[in-house]
Amino acid sequence: MPDDITCAKDTRDLLIDCCVEFIHLLASEANEICEKETKKTIAAEHVISALKALGFDGYLPEVEVVLQDHRTQQKVK
């Protein structure tokens, strides 16, 4: 948790559980999309499609910026 946020231990644990559950949901959906395309590796595009399919469109602008930064860094290397 950030230093400027204080909460009870059970609240912190619940937040962590929610984050873990979100990651499992997203990974599962991305895996299904990947399998439909008969691919063996989940790509960034599969995760973006999973976000859309699950209705988390609000995350897309930030995710796409991070993806673009990652691709730029890969080209530099």
DSSP 12-47: HHHHHHHHHHHHHHHHHHHHHHHHHTT-SS--HHHH
**Predicted local distance difference test score (pLDDT) of residue 18:** 97
> Which residue shows structure tokens 């395309």?
37
pLDDT digits (tens, 9 = 90+) for 3-60: 898 999 999 999 999 999 999 999 999 999 999 999 999 999 999 999 999 999 999 9
1: pLDDT strictly greater than 80: no
pTM: 0.82
